C-alpha cells in the first residue's frame, strides 16, 4: 500500500486549531498517514507551534501571523476560538492556494484537507478550491451527541432547573446529569455542531470501537451518515516524546524512578483550566493530608490566569510534602502515565488525557472544568467505571477522601482492574486485524480515492 501511495505522489494537508489539545491529535494523524505512505503538509500558526525538527517527515507551512499570542491567552476558550476564526480566514485561503499551486507545479496530487471543525470558514474555502475535506473529532462521541441535543434539552426545560435539581438525570442522554450540561456559549457550540455536519466526506475520531462502539451509529446519524474512522488511540502512532509545543520538565521522570510501584498520584489540569487561589491552596493541602506521593503540574497560569510561582505555596506545605511531593510547570505526560510508579491520575478530564490514561491502564480522579470535560468525567465514572469524580467543592478533606478511595481502598483496585482491561482492548485495536487497524486501512483507501479522482480529472483535461 505504501509503495502505491508514493507512486501517486499523494499529499494530505492538515489544519489544526492552534490549541494544544487540538494540535496534538492532528500531529498524531499526520504520523499515522505518513506511515501509510502519504506526504504530509501542516498549515500552522506560530502560536503553540511544534518544533519542526521533531517532525522531519512533515512539511510545515506557516501562515502569516496576524494575532498576538497574548490576545489569545487572555480570553476564555470560546472567545479564543471566535478570535482565531476572525483573524485567520484570509491567511488560510492564501496559504492553501500556494500549497495547491506548488503541488500542481510538482505534478503532485493533494488528496484532501483534514481540518478542525472549530474553524468555521474552512468549508467555503475548500469548496472554492474543489478540495475534498475530512474533519477530526478531538473529543468523545457522546459529548458531540449532547452538543447536538442542546436545543432539544433547552426546550425540555433542563436549563431552567434550580440549583437543588442539578442532580436530576438527563433522560434523553443517559447517564448525564443536569449539572453535566454546558452553561457556556451555546451559540458558539451550535456553530461548531453545524460545521461538523458539513464534513460529509468523513470524520476521523480519536477513539476505538471497543471504547465507544455503542454510540458510533448514533454519532454517524448525527453527521448524516458521513464515513466515520475511529482509528484511536491516536497518540500510539507517534513517538513517546514529540517535543516542541510545551517545555516539559523531564526531572519528573527521575523523581518517579525513586518511588514505589503504583504509589504516585499524578495531578494535571491541562493547559487552559484555571482555579482560584483558595482552590489552589485546598488542592495543595488535600494532597499533603492524603499522605500519598504525588507529582503535581502547576502551569504558570493556573491561578486565575495569572503567573504562579513557588511563593504561592506556604512554607509549612513545602515542609510537609518534602520527599513525597514533586511540583513542575509541565511534565511529559505520556511518559509519566506509563511509569510503573504512577497509580492514579487526577485530571481535568480532557479527552486526550483520558485516552492516554486508558492506554496506560491508570485509573482517574475527574475534576472537569468546561466544555466536554463534564461529559467525559461522567462517562469515566458511571459508564466505564474506571475513575471517581470529585463532584463536591474543592475542599481538602474531600480531596483527601477521594485520593484514599482511589489509591488505597478496594474500590480503587476494582477501578484499576477495569481500566487495565480497557488498556488491553486499546492495544489490541491497533494490532493487525484490530478495529482501529482496519479503520486506518479504510481511511487510507478513502483518501487514495480522492487522489485517483484528481489524477483522472487531470488526464481528461
Kindly list the averaged pLDDT for each block of 10 residues, start to end, along the chain of length 461: 51 93 94 95 85 89 67 67 88 94 87 96 95 96 96 95 92 95 90 93 97 92 91 91 65 96 96 89 96 94 69 86 93 96 97 98 95 95 97 88 97 98 98 98 96 64 47
User: Cell 478570535 sits at which residue?
Assistant: 83
d(CA 184, CA 32): 34
Count the neighbouring beta carbons within 10 Å of the beta carbon of residue 198: 19
Instruction: Specify the long-range contacts of residues 441-444, CB closer than 8 Å, at least 24 apart.
Output: 441/1, 442/227, 442/229, 443/33, 443/202, 443/204, 443/229, 443/231, 444/1, 444/5, 444/33, 444/36, 444/38
Is residue 371 within a helix (H) or strand (E), and if so which, with residue range? none
d(CA 307, CA 300): 5
pTM across the whole model: 0.93
Measured at the alpha carbon of residue 361, what is the angle toward residues 355 and 364, in degrees to the nearest 5? 70
Q: Please give the pLDDT value at position 20.
A: 86
What class does CATH assign to 251-426?
alpha beta
d(CA 339, CA 295): 12
Sheet with 203-205: list strands edge to edge: 58-62, 39-44, 10-15, 109-115, 133-137, 203-205, 228-230
Which grid cell sits at 129?
478550491
Domain(s) of CATH 3.40.50.2000: residues in the chain? 2-241+431-460, 251-426
Is residue 435 within a helix (H) or strand (E), and if so which, with residue range? helix 435-460
d(CA 287, CA 285): 5
- SS3 of residue 402 by DSSP: helix
Among 85, 89, 138, 149, smallest CA distance to 116 is for 138
Residues 6+ apart with CB under 8 A from 7: none
Q: Please give the pLDDT value at position 460.
A: 53
d(CA 430, CA 436): 5
Q: Please give the pLDDT value at position 6.
A: 47
Q: Please give the pLDDT value at position 374.
A: 95
Which grid cell sits at 390?
470529585
- SS3 of residue 103 by DSSP: helix
Residues 6+ apart with CB under 8 A from 240: 332, 334, 335, 338
Count the neighbouring beta carbons within 10 Å of the beta carbon of residue 287: 26
Give the domain 2-241+431-460 fold: Rossmann fold (3.40.50)
CA 374 to chain centre: 14
Residues 6+ apart with CB under 8 A from 152: 172
Amino acid at each position: 500500500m505504501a509503495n502505491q501511495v508514493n507512486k501517486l505522489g499523494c499529499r494530505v494537508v492538515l489544519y489544526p486549531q492552534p490549541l494544544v489539545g487540538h494540535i496534538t491529535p492532528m500531529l498524531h494523524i499526520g504520523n499515522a498517514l505518513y506511515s501509510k505512505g502519504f506526504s504530509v503538509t501542516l498549515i500552522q500558526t506560530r502560536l503553540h507551534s511544534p518544533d519542526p525538527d521533531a517532525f522531519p517527515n512533515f512539511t510545515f507551512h506557516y501562515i502569516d501571523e496576524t494575532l498576538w499570542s497574548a490576545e489569545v491567552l487572555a480570553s476564555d476558550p470560546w472567545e479564543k476560538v471566535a478570535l482565531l476564526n476572525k483573524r485567520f480566514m484570509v491567511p488560510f485561503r492564501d496559504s492553501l492556494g500556494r500549497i495547491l499551486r506548488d503541488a500542481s507545479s510538482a505534478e503532485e496530487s493533494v488528496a484532501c484537507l483534514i481540518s478542525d471543525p472549530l474553524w468555521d470558514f474552512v468549508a467555503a474555502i475548500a469548496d472554492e478550491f474543489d478540495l475534498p475535506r475530512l474533519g477530526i473529532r478531538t473529543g468523545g462521541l457522546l459529548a458531540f451527541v449532547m452538543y447536538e441535543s442542546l436545543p432539544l434539552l433547552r426546550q425540555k426545560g433542563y436549563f431552567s432547573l434550580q440549583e437543588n435539581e442539578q442532580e436530576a438525570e438527563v433522560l434523553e442522554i443517559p447517564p448525564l446529569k443536569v449539572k453535566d450540561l454546558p452553561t457556556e456559549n451555546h451559540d458558539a457550540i451550535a456553530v461548531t455542531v453545524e460545521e461538523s455536519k458539513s464534513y460529509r466526506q468523513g470524520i476521523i475520531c480519536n477513539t476505538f470501537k471497543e471504547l465507544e462502539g455503542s454510540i458510533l451509529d448514533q454519532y454517524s446519524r448525527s453527521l448524516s451518515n458521513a464515513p466515520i474512522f475511529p482509528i484511536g488511540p491516536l497518540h500510539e502512532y507517534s513517538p513517546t516524546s514529540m517535543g516542541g509545543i510545551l517545555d516539559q520538565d523531564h526531572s519528573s521522570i527521575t523523581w518517579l524512578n525513586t518511588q514505589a510501584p503504583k504509589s504516585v498520584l499524578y495531578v494535571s489540569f491541562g493547559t487552559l483550566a484555571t482555579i482560584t487561589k483558595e482552590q489552589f491552596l485546598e488542592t495543595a493541602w488535600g494532597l499533603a493530608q492524603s499522605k500519598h506521593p504525588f507529582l503535581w503540574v502547576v502551569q504558570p497560569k493556573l491561578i486565575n490566569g495569572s503567573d504562579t510561582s513557588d511563593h504561592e505555596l506556604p512554607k509549612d506545605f513545602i515542609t510537609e510534602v518534602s520527599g513525597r511531593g514533586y511540583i513542575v510547570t509541565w511534565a511529559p505526560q505520556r511518559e509519566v502515565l506509563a511509569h510503573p510508579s504512577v497509580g492514579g491520575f487526577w485530571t481535568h478530564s480532557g479527552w486526550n488525557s483520558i485516552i492516554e490514561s486508558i492506554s496506560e491502564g491508570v485509573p482517574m480522579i475527574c475534576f472537569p472544568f468546561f466544555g466536554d470535560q463534564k461529559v467525559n468525567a461522567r462517562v469515566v465514572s458511571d459508564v466505564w467505571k474506571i475513575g471517581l469524580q470529585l463532584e463536591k467543592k474543592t475542599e481538602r478533606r474531600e480531596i483527601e477522601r477521594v485520593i484514599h478511595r482511589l489509591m488505597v481502598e478496594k474500590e480503587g483496585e476494582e477501578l484499576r482492574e477495569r481500566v487495565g482491561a480497557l488498556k488491553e482492548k486499546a492495544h489490541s485495536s491497533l494490532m493487525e486485524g484490530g478495529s482501529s487497524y482496519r479503520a486506518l486501512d479504510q481511511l487510507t483507501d478513502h483518501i487514495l480515492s480522492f487522489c485517483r479522482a484528481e489524477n483522472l480529472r487531470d488526464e481528461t483535461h
